[in-house]
Amino acid sequence: MKVIISGGGTGGHIYPAIAIANELKTIDPTTEILFVGAEGKMEMEKVPRAGYTIVGLPVVGIKRELTLANLGFPFKLGRSLLRARQIVREFQPDVAVGVGGYASGPLLLAASFKGIPTLIQEQNSYAGITNKALARWAKRICVAYPGMEAFFPAEKIKLTGNPVRSDIQFADQQIEAGRELFALEATRPTVLIIGGSQGARTINESIEAGLQRFVDAGVQVIWQTGASFISRAREVVAAVGSPLVKAYDFIYDMDKAYAVATIVISRAGALSVSELCLVGRPAILVPFPAASEDHQTKNAMSLVKNDAALLVTDRNAREELITTALNLLENPNQQKQLSSQIKTLAKPHAAREIAEEVRKLTK
């Protein structure tokens, strides 16, 4: 079987795609998989690191505001469609999978026009513009949240949850390895701060402003900042001068990071929410307000309304985030409640279910 998987732009698209690919290879190691991404985007580095081949399209997104950059959009889209047709013709896939992001549009269109069955995987509670546009041609649409009939034909929808990296499911087995990796003390509480694969400015600035409060409370901090903030974060950590704080631009061993976390501070991207459900860690979510249709707030509220997470708005984070985190660290009963409730929302077999749907389309 030959499968093309297309999309990317953020870790929230890339890692589910890799999880689907891994599951397809687990079911049948002879499966051939080709990834298609957008040139210059992070999938062009992350996918080869995971062991798969990827080719890039010159496609870019269209800006919501009026800008000169939009003038080049039609030309790059046209070039991407031609390149996508060439890729489909040369690779001859049995099925094409789109996970959202710029590149999935041209590729899934090219596959559909060649009569190749397509599957869409939508991670968020509010469907992305690319997936909504591709839905009319898709044979199957795998979603992570109920109620997606608002965006897609009901007869095409399969509720699977979001696929995550397989190592995340076994995070609890990595506690000792995590303490060794991050040089942590077993007797101290640990806060894991993650702002998504590219970092989160509001979260970073909130942590910067209140970092000394964590240190004064004897709390260990694992701080993933994203590449754009890491230099500043290192200056802040040096100024604090405490071995309790570790800053990283990106953390590849997320299973070990989750394993040692007492609580987690995170954006509310679909992948982060799905991972938190699987690892069952008490979480404080700070949704990114500029996400399309405010979908991160909708993702977060799916947990909050089930007493499975706490929410601090982006607007209030600088004043409230550190205090909320310290209060949670001092309340073991609340930690247990949040942990217990968030685990009930986990869908640990999402990657396998999606892989099986992909295989059905080839028969």
Asked whether the beta carbons of 285 and 259 are under 8 A apart, the reply is no
**pTM: predicted TM-score of the whole model, two decimal places:** 0.83
Question: How many secondary structure helices (H) and strands (E) does the chain include?
Answer: 14, 13
In sequence order, what are the residues at sequence separation of 6 or more whose Cβ sits closer than 8 angstroms to the Cβ of residue 185? Answer: 179, 220
Topology of domain 2-162+348-361, CATH = Rossmann fold (3.40.50)
Q: What is the pLDDT of residue 73?
A: 61
Query: For the purposes of burial, counting CB atoms within 10 Å of the CB of 125, is it exposed (0-12), middle (13-18) or buried (19 or more)?
Result: buried
Q: Which residues of 309-341 are buried (b: 16+ CB within 10 A; e: fewer)?
A: bbbbebeebbebbbebbbebbeeeebbeebbeb
| Number of CB atoms found within 10 A of residue 61's CB | 16
Both structure tokens of 152:
């897609």
d(CA 213, CA 201): 19
Both structure tokens of 220:
């260990």
d(CA 359, CA 94): 9
**Percentage of residues of the chain with pLDDT beyond 90:** 75
d(CA 308, CA 243): 31
Domain boundaries, the chain: 2-162+348-361, 166-343
Query: For the purposes of burial, counting CB atoms within 10 Å of the CB of 49, is it exposed (0-12), middle (13-18) or buried (19 or more)?
Result: exposed
Cα–Cα distances (Å) from 294 to 134, 257, 299, in that order, read 21, 28, 9
Q: What is the pLDDT of residue 60?
A: 65
Residue positions forming the annotated binding site for UDP-N-acetyl-alpha-D-glucosamine:
10-12, 124, 165, 197, 251, 270-275, 296
DSSP conformation letters of 239-275 = HHT-TTEEEES--S-HHHHHHH-SEEEE---HHHHHH
Q: What's the length of the chain?
A: 363
Q: What is the pLDDT of residue 198?
A: 66
d(CA 63, CA 40): 17
d(CA 315, CA 12): 23
Q: What is the pLDDT of residue 70?
A: 56
> What torsion do the CA atoms of 280, 286, 291, 294 make, to the nearest 10 degrees?
90
Q: What is the pLDDT of residue 362?
A: 86
Q: What is the pLDDT of residue 199?
A: 67
What CATH number should be reported for the domain whose range is 166-343? Answer: 3.40.50.2000
Q: What is the pLDDT of residue 126?
A: 84
pLDDT < 50 stretches in the chain? none
d(CA 294, CA 283): 19
Residue positions forming the annotated binding site:
10-12, 124, 165, 197, 251, 270-275, 296
Nearest to 185 by CA among 234, 246, 229, 138: 246
Q: What is the pLDDT of residue 102?
A: 78
In sequence order, what are the residues at sequence separation of 6 or more whose Cβ sits closer than 8 angstroms to the Cβ of residue 68? Answer: none
Strands 32-38 and 263-266: unpaired
Asked whether the beta carbons of 139 and 106 are under 8 A apart, the reply is no
